[in-house]
A and B are shown apart, each in its own frame.
Chain A
Amino acid sequence: MADLSTDFAGIKSPNPFWIASGPPANTAYQAHRAFEAGWGGVVWKTIGDPIRNVSSRYSSIDYGNMRMVGLNNIELISDRSPETNFREIAEVKKRWPNHAVIASLMVDTRENWHDFVRRSADCGADGIELNFGCPHGMCERGMGSAVGQNPDVAATIIGWVMEAATIPVIAKLTPNITDITAAARAAKRSGANAISLINTINSITQVNLDNFVPEPFVGGLSSHGGYCGPAVKPIALNMVQSCASDPEVRLPISGIGGITTWRDAAEFVALGATTVQVCTAVMHYGFRIVEDMIDGLNDYLDGKGFENLDELRGRAVDTVRKWETLDLNYKRIAEIDYGKCIGCNLCYIACEDGAHQAIALVDPAGYGLGPGRVPNKPVPEIKEEECVGCNLCSLVCPVHDCITMVSVENGLERLAWADYQTRLAAGDATAFAPHP
């Protein structure tokens, strides 16, 4: 069994799976349930001056039979008093001393930050997460993403926090910014101990076509909500990798954004995250999903021969480079396993209408077709000389491993755009002819 225990900027937890600050982390009751289910940490729902929420708070998008591929919300920070929240954190820590409990904070003035930071430490929290990310409601009051979108303001506030902090401080970043690394660098230079990302993305999920009010509907109006769930994972991975690969950041990262399975978690770790935080998947299925996450990640690490998460961490960070470093001479093409082909011909039409016209439909005679394949229907055939290896056919194919992309040895030397430009300038290369 691999060791899943984690040390995140000095915050220890039995595994990297934390409940993200949000509705599942609202009360001691929920924290107890989370830890009983196996979660390694809980980032408390953001504590600040008590707010008042609206009724009707979440909205989502479905895809086919899949519910809640993306979720958004216009719920604000905790609507319970700071006293209640800090008292409950203390209770939870008492019962779960080896699990991580992080106080998420959002206040306004320097004095208030000092006060809340001290009270967090006093109640026994293992760390503090600064909510610089909520893109709805609180930002209109100069907090949340209004802070995160302005690195200098964020740096100032982190400075205030660090003046009073005796436990590790995590700055939670908003993705609603052009360059996430600017915010990450601000966290670094102002002394934060770690960063977590991403917070939710500005969004409108759907418009009611009868009353023309987007959801969530609040008495005839709606508002921009924070978007999360499986649909945002690619955006989060991109930003996590950007921060992990930035030499001016070099902070532990808690990855957040659409994590639903152990596989998602492993991808975040491979791109540099030390812990991962989950909210939407718990809102969808409950705390019990962590069982598969722990199990699956463990088996995966064992299968790879990794003894702990450190061996996985960051392994994929350095394989993401600038486009100009990619080999222009690398070639891959699609290969169809006719024993698996079911004859939907989606690969054909995707390539024909949507990509590069590199698949033909041909007479099926001579192809070893799958057992139930409708006979005599034309079969797709890759035009190898036309195939640019774009992957689209393999992406639309509804059968596992039916279309695979295979590397082709073409005998050409590695040539990246940057090298090519250098050689062109030196007169060592001739210009590429455009594709006919």
Chain B
Amino acid sequence: MPLSPKLSADQLEANLADIAPRYTEQQASVESSRCLFCFDAPCITACPTGIDIPAFIKKIMTGNVTGAARTILSANILGASCARVCPTEVLCEGACVLLDRDSDPIKIGRLQRYATDHVYENEIQVLRAATKKSGKRVAVIGGGPAGLGCAAEVAQLGHDVVIFERKPNAGGLNTYGIAYYKMKPEISLEEVELVKSLGVEFRCGVEVGRDVTRADLDGFDAIFIGIGLGDGQRLRIPGEELPEVVEALDFIEQIHTEPLHRVPVGARVAVLGCGNTAIDAATQARRLGAAEVVVIYRRGERDMSAYAFEYDLAKQDGASFLFHHAPVEVLGHDGHVTGLRLVQTRFNASGALEQIGGSEFTEPFDMVIKAVGQQKQSDWLAQLFPELEMNRNGTMKRDFDTGQTSLRKVYAGGDCANGGREVVNAVGEGKKAARGIHRFFGETEAIGPIQPSRWGVAPGPYGSGFDAPIRVPDLEAKYEQLSPASHPAPATSALTSMNQE
């Protein structure tokens, strides 16, 4: 049977309402005054964009909410969306020292949203376009979080930027792929406007490789690749082509591009895979009115890549989980999905996953959502930049501190470079690449040394704190003394810290 919408517009509005509504002024005041204002706080270290979190929280406490937003947005141009979509439990809030004292970390994400909402809603411009221009031009391929992070920083450093975006709107997964109850697409589009206000030029609906050639790109002084990941992985089982077998990201995109009451969903939905996207799909399917949602994962509960709090959310929403089962066929009738043939799996003595012979059975479903990961865009890259050196896993080789690839003027960041991580990692990597590009242009030091008092954070592809101010100069010497091996000197434009991923 074809899929159909299940609930009324009102019901859907309620079901998909903000899961963490904005703090009131009173809530923000109470929560912000709990912050200890740590020196060199671990939350900053844990933030891939290195936001000075205690500073912005202090500002909220004093009533300087605009200043708080300035602190946030100058470190992370997508501060408003990160406030909503960051897995703060494993980032800033997971590092909060209060966890160790009272088991109750500061609600940093909620406070960040409070501050950024304030400036967006009141149309307060806290960042300014550069007044001094270098005349250099940077092409940014992909208008998602990495591209926006890079473009905003490059523009503020005084260079011209053009973003090439394939979709009608920029923002990437922030616009099209976030669980609706976490963030509405309007927030992402407002952030795109903020980047525009810094002087960044957007060319949307443009496909690089088709509408824009390599020769066009070579006309720019530097290029940033932030194209994200490609199509979903294929299941390679019979019946995969049936119309009710959908990609999780396509399903979520539909929720963002169509009125909620027109988004079709099954009555009994199977979600394949158990990452955070699978959870997003499962919870949204439930909230759209699916009577039953079963998340099917070929490995065990402990092996899933979804965060514990996301797993809890799906369970609260009534999704059930079927571990150690894999689909072997999508069953259909009259061209529509009717169920799945499943097989039990187990880890054998050598730790490899194997199917258990004779354990096959069928389960009725009318919709199958695939959330088994996305492919790398290696083909696209090979076509456009055949000389790029690649890692075996299909990502580009790059300098982690600068984002520079094996091509001097080509930089990369975000999912296409790190293999797929959080929005905030993409923004951070875009920002680092912008600093790398700035220095490539022969400008003054753009990449500070790793803040010495943050030597706990090893430099790496997703690390943070690279350009936070050094507040205690003499720590540097001590740091060199204490752990000389663990930190390379600040990277130069040569690929000193090129690593294999």
The answer, yes or no, to whether A153 is at the interface (CB within 8 Å) is: no
Q: List 29 A-B contacts (CB under 8 A).
A: A64-B33, A64-B61, A65-B29, A343-B100, A344-B36, A344-B39, A344-B41, A345-B40, A346-B37, A346-B39, A349-B39, A361-B453, A361-B475, A361-B478, A362-B478, A362-B482, A363-B455, A364-B456, A372-B99, A372-B100, A372-B103, A373-B100, A374-B42, A374-B456, A376-B456, A377-B45, A377-B456, A378-B453, A398-B101
**Residues in A neighbouring B45, C-beta threshold 8 A:** 374, 377
**Residues in B neighbouring A362, C-beta threshold 8 A:** 478, 482
Interface residues of A in 340-388 (CB under 8 A from B): 342-346, 348-349, 352, 360-364, 370-378
**Residues in A neighbouring B29, C-beta threshold 8 A:** 65
Interface residues of B in 373-425 (CB under 8 A from A): none
What's the nearest-Cβ distance from chain A to residue B111, in Å?
Answer: 14
CA distance in complex: A398, B39 (Å): 13
What's the nearest-Cβ distance from chain A to residue B139, in Å?
Answer: 38
What's the nearest-Cβ distance from chain B to residue A101, in Å?
Answer: 41
**Interface positions of A (Cβ within 8 A of B):** 64-65, 342-346, 348-349, 352, 360-364, 370-378, 398-399
- Most B Cβ at <10 Å: residue of A65, A342, A348: A342
Q: Pick from B61, B95, B101, B475: contact of A374, CB below 8 A.
A: B95
The answer, yes or no, to whether B348 is at the interface (CB within 8 Å) is: no
Q: Pick from B33, B38, B101, B472: contact of A65, CB below 8 A.
A: B33
Inter-subunit contact A344/B455 (CB<8 Å): no
CA distance in complex: A142, B436 (Å): 74
Chain A's closest residue to B33 (CB) is: A64
Interface residues of B in 89-111 (CB under 8 A from A): 95, 97-101, 103
Chain A's closest residue to B38 (CB) is: A344
What's the nearest-Cβ distance from chain A to residue B63, in Å?
Answer: 10
**Residues in A neighbouring B478, C-beta threshold 8 A:** 360-362
What's the nearest-Cβ distance from chain A to residue B182, in Å?
Answer: 26
**Residues in B neighbouring A377, C-beta threshold 8 A:** 40, 42, 45, 456
CA distance in complex: A346, B478 (Å): 19
How many residue pairs, one in A and one in B, have C-beta atoms under 8 Å apart? 70
Chain A contact residues, majority secondary structure: loop
Chain B's closest residue to A402 (CB) is: B101
The answer, yes or no, to whether B30 is at the interface (CB within 8 Å) is: yes
**Interface positions of B (Cβ within 8 A of A):** 29-30, 33-34, 36-42, 45, 61, 95, 97-101, 103, 453, 455-457, 472, 475, 478, 482-483
A378-B455 in contact given A64-B33, A343-B100, A371-B100 (Cβ < 8 Å): yes
Inter-subunit contact A348/B39 (CB<8 Å): yes
**Residues in A neighbouring B482, C-beta threshold 8 A:** 362-363
Given A342-B101, A344-B38, A361-B40, 9 further pairs, Cβ under 8 A: A64-B33, A65-B29, A349-B39, A349-B40, A361-B453, A361-B478, A378-B40, A378-B455, A378-B475
What's the nearest-Cβ distance from chain A to residue B435, in Å?
Answer: 24
CA distance in complex: A362, B453 (Å): 9
**Residues in B neighbouring A399, C-beta threshold 8 A:** 101
CA distance in complex: A371, B103 (Å): 11
Inter-subunit contact A343/B472 (CB<8 Å): no
What's the nearest-Cβ distance from chain A to residue B458, in Å?
Answer: 8
Chain A's closest residue to B95 (CB) is: A374
A345-B38 in contact given A361-B453, A361-B475 (Cβ < 8 Å): yes
- Most A Cβ at <10 Å: residue of B29, B30, B38, B61: B38
Inter-subunit contact B97/A343 (CB<8 Å): yes
Q: Pick from B41, B98, B100: contact of A370, CB below 8 A.
A: B100
A345-B101 in contact given A65-B33, A378-B456 (Cβ < 8 Å): no
Inter-subunit contact B98/A342 (CB<8 Å): yes
CA distance in complex: A343, B42 (Å): 8
A65-B34 in contact given A361-B475, A363-B482 (Cβ < 8 Å): yes
Chain B's closest residue to A369 (CB) is: B100
Inter-subunit contact A374/B39 (CB<8 Å): no
Chain B's closest residue to A65 (CB) is: B33
Chain A's closest residue to B97 (CB) is: A342
What's the nearest-Cβ distance from chain B to residue A273, in Å?
Answer: 33
What's the nearest-Cβ distance from chain B to residue A351, in Å?
Answer: 10
